[in-house]
Amino acid sequence: MAHSALSAFVALASLTLVAGQTTPAPAAPNTQPTFPATPLSDIPVTYSDIPYQVITSTYARGTQSGYNLCNSTTQNQNSECQTLIVNSIFDFCLYAPGQPNSTISDTEGEEVAWCTTKNHGSRGIPPGTFTGLQVLRTADYLQFVGFINQANVNIQPGDFGGELDGGGQDGLGNPIGAEVFSTAFSSDNSTYQHTSQWNVFIGGNQVGIKVCNPAGSNPAGYCQHTLDRIGLIYNMPNQAANGTFEVCDSAPMDIPGVYTSGGQTLSYSQPAESLGPITSIPYTPRIPSSSNCQTYQSSQIFTDFASLAPSTTAASPTGTGASKNSGTRAGSAASASATGSNGAGTVTISLFSTILGVAFSFAFLA
């Protein structure tokens, strides 16, 4: 029973009824809708006409805490910009908390944009945040997987994080009102396109960012967000190496959750959080082949904020409204606890084994 309903019940039960006295009506329930009439991913937004906030109403989980209209006036380390730009290894953003020493599960509805350049009205990613990064380019999606010092972007050391995406548990997105644009799929590599299908896994000192081509073969499939509990390696198979910064052409990955066993194409659906930790997964993710890899030094990539110091004090929000998540779909960002096999060899799944399902026991799944 919800807290407000329980309070009303107790109040009614404690009334002393007097002859002829009318029993007071119970307190009105919270009438704020849980789900928007139009999910965030279906709201048409163009780069040339970005509104101040995409979500302007209040829902059961809250409203948008930051803003989408970001420019030179919002370019600072207190920025509450919530529009992500993902173009190339030289120009990209990620979502992370606005306040130092935060966990993703506590702040998923309020994350802000942190970017590599000063062009997007966001916070800057401090130097030394990335210690390795692989970018994979396909016709259907652009994928970034990197190793990070997560305290530099306000994530509590030791937090295994989770998934952020344009769906969320209620269609509002995580963060609420998140918008993502990219030039990676335009014919001139300079026209910004609205990429409504995307996801970000961050935590465990790793980050994965994937944006899907809106004109690709299956944007909702490649960027689906219903497998948050089994982590980055199942959602973004890769060969990223700590200490290496590279961009590669890539064959497409298998649609997350789709695998072949015994000659049959099967689909995996993760169990609900309430069923406890995931102890087995029936397949091992296939890492797609890559080619034409170009290697860079971090000093070639992260140039705009070379002298920026990591945040050590709480930021002062400059957006309007507030949102609080009432449960997360976080899972472990870095990996799942179990390995599987589909007869196609094995993949080493990063170390976070027994924590999944213990550290993250929240109520809502995408």
Q: What is the pLDDT of residue 309?
A: 79
- SS3 of residue 121 by DSSP: coil
Task: Summarize the confidence of residues 22-39 as an average pLDDT.
Answer: 71
- Split at pLDDT 50, 70, 90, the class of 313 is very low
**In which band, very low, low, confident or very high, does the pLDDT at 26 lie, cut at 50, 70 and 90?**
low
Give 196: exposed, middle or buried? Use CB within 10 Å, 0-12, 13-18, 19+: buried
Indicate if the pLDDT at residue 323 is higher than 60.
Answer: no
Q: Which of 29-43, 89-103, 239-253, 306-320 has the lowest mean pLDDT?
A: 306-320
- Tell me, what DSSP letter sits at residue 350? P
| Alpha carbon distances (Å) from 208 to 78, 138, 165, 334 | 24, 16, 12, 9
pLDDT above 70 coverage of the chain, percent: 76
Q: How far apart are CA 109 and CA 114, in angstroms?
A: 15
Number of C-beta neighbours around residue 224 at 10 A = 20
pLDDT surpasses 90 at 9: no
Residue 325: both structure tokens together: 């998540």
Lowest-pLDDT range, 22-26, 154-158, 255-259, 297-301?
Answer: 22-26
Confidence of residue 328 (pLDDT cuts 50, 70, 90): very low
User: Which amino acid is located at 276 in the chain?
Assistant: G
| Type of residue found at 154 | N
Query: Tokens for 157?
Result: 């050391």
Give yes or no for a cis peptide into 127 (omega within 30° of 0).
no
Could you tell me how far CA 210 lies from the centroid of its own chain? 10
Q: How many CA atoms lie within 13 A of 163 on its CB side?
A: 31
- Cα–Cα–Cα angle for 295, 115, 62, rounded to 5 degrees: 140
CA distances from 245 to 209, 295, 312 (A): 15, 6, 27
Confidence at 338, pLDDT banded by 50, 70, 90: very low
Residues 6+ apart with CB under 8 A from 86: 92, 93, 142, 144, 180, 181, 182, 184, 195, 198, 209, 211
Residue 83 has pLDDT above 60, yes or no: yes
pLDDT category at 314 given cuts 50, 70, 90 is very low
Q: Rounded to two decimals, what is the model's pTM?
A: 0.81
Q: What are the start-end ranges of the E strands in the chain?
A: 83-88, 91-96, 112-115, 123-124, 130-137, 141-148, 162-165, 179-182, 193-194, 198-203, 206-212, 245-250, 258-261, 264-267, 290-296
Task: Please name the residues in contact with 49: beta carbons below 8 A apart, sequence gap of 6 or more.
Answer: none
Tokens representing 324 are: 């609080």
Separation CA 25–CA 341 (nearest Å): 59
Please tell me the predicted confidence (pLDDT) of residue 32.
85
**pLDDT tens digits for range 196-223:** 999 999 999 999 999 999 999 999 999 9
